[in-house]
Structure 1
Amino acid sequence: MTRTILDDYLTLSAEPPPRPLASRPVVLIVDDMPDNLALLSDALDESGHIVLVATDGASAIQRLGYITPDLILLDAVMPGLDGFETCRRIKLLASAAHVPVVFMTGLTETEHVVRGFQVGGIDYVTKPIQPLEIVARVAAHIKTARMMSQARDVIDAAAHAVIVLGIDGAPLWQTGKASFWLEKYFPRSDQRKLPPQLQFWLNENLVLLRQTQQPLQPLVINGDDGELTINLSKNTQSAELTLLLEEKSLVLPNAVQLEGYRLTPRETDVLAWVSKGKTNRDIAEILGMSPRTVNKHLEHIYIKLGVETRAAAAALAISRQYGTPATLQ
């Protein structure tokens, strides 16, 4: 049967598109054996990795001063600086201490395996090298490392509403507090996607980020009773991106208005939503905490304000907001 132009088009279109360069994991191979370097480089390159090589420990450490890979494959036995000492020194580098190191070794005695873990290795493979096994282990460890990196970002941003993005800028997941604010400031938007205005701002800044690596201007959205500020944060140790959302209330009592009561920032947030008539469950969802934690904050608030009821606390907060006398109940 004669092939047509359409047949050729369908064949080509069925092939998966090449992975963007920025999304390809970087692996540094450190080995003094050229045959091993060639075998591993070919296998990892075919599986979609960017491969860097070093033939000794000293040059590997030097390379880490210029680039941070996603994983290091390290030969344990090398002349000069052996793999164990190389790994120990790598873990002393602030820019590379987090990078997973997988040892390649023919030394299978327990003392050598234990030593590899003691100096910071995360795994080891035995020689002779099995390329498919190494590719699978590398992929698994890189995936885990990236998830841990994202988790660190989220923990660092625990006081904020958070939207975690993939390396292509698509949202992966978001906290309940972020969902609440998106719905509040971008009504009638499709909750499965970023709102068009936010997506447009994100696309512009992704381009700017690739070109300049400079700090980005936040997106500020004004609402009826508040102001939402959205910042784009890039993990310096990977390509992961995070949107951090913060709301500045324009009508609720703030820390300055209540400073005489020495409320913590979190207690101020809880009291602000109490004065808006929100229940503990509502506040828990908005602030990303449990109802039990909200209740504990309220107990502290009552003591600091010198009141005994929820209504009295709300009345005092509102009076501070508008400068009117409070009627306590």
Structure 2
Amino acid sequence: MKPLPADPKDTPGRVEPPGPGGPIDRSRAGVVLIVDDVPDNLAVLHDALDEAGYTVLVATDGASALRRAAETDPDIVLLDAVMPGIDGFEVARRLKAGPETAHIPIVFMTGLTDTEHVLAAFDAGGVDYVTKPIRPPEVLARMAAHMQAARQARQARNALDAYGHATIALRVGAGRAQLVWQTPLARQWLPAYFDTVPDEVPAALLDWLRAAEQGREVRPLTLARGARQLVCTLQGRTVDEDWLVVLREVSDAATVEATMLAFRLTLRESEVLYWVAKGKTNRDIGDILGSSPATVKKHLERVYEKLGVETRTAAAALAMQKVRALNPG
């Protein structure tokens, strides 16, 4: 048996160097993170997985396991249940609580075969478990099945992004909501439109979902940023009773550009005119564009002057007439 290197860099292409910038060979059978505080267990699994064509990452405690999973996005985690400090059950719960790592299948490795410990492994988010002493052929067989299912799910989610439809799954509890998973495009759009930090469930989205939880009919939720809008549509519930929401971005940038060129407006003046035509008040427009109502009023006064009109209604009508003339289809 080959000794497990003290420094992961001693095995180029097999064990990823520590730190977020280390290269990972993803051209092999898959990337596996093994988490165990016993060097002999790590060595046995490392050799077997390496021979089977996997890229192997290792962690010897719960904290480093969480860090490495977040940095490297492994295809699967083989997780020791009993470790000092943060044990395997808590590591699994934290991985499943994070939208960026929730999709990673977790196979527990444990010498605890009592029913309560097996149930604890599944309750923490594990998809399977193997008992110690570890038998590598059994581990490889179980891994292959779970990795295939996880890859198919990930490909389906990424396909939605490719067609401009981002997707999120949310779990709504009594006191809070959790993002169970989200596609990469959703992770980009949510903070941009809701002014929240990544992975946080926006309050407006939560209120919208709570209405659905109460059995009320909910219309699509729409948010605007300039001439762009994010439309959130409720698609129902998953088999896990999580809410599935599809996000779609709609842009009227072409309309804004058309009125800007036709009336020689600035971009901000054209945006203000666009939202006036949509029936928004100065306060609404200020909220959308990140300006004060007084600033919107000044832009609108310049728009009136350039269009040769005196009222909001006349400005909106002229704008819509010009856009229809420029885009007769």
Q: What is the TM-score when the length of structure 2 is the normalising length?
A: 0.42
The answer to which structure, 1 or 2, has the higher relative contact order (CA under 8 A, 6+ apart) is 1
Q: What is the TM-score when the length of structure 1 is the normalising length?
A: 0.42
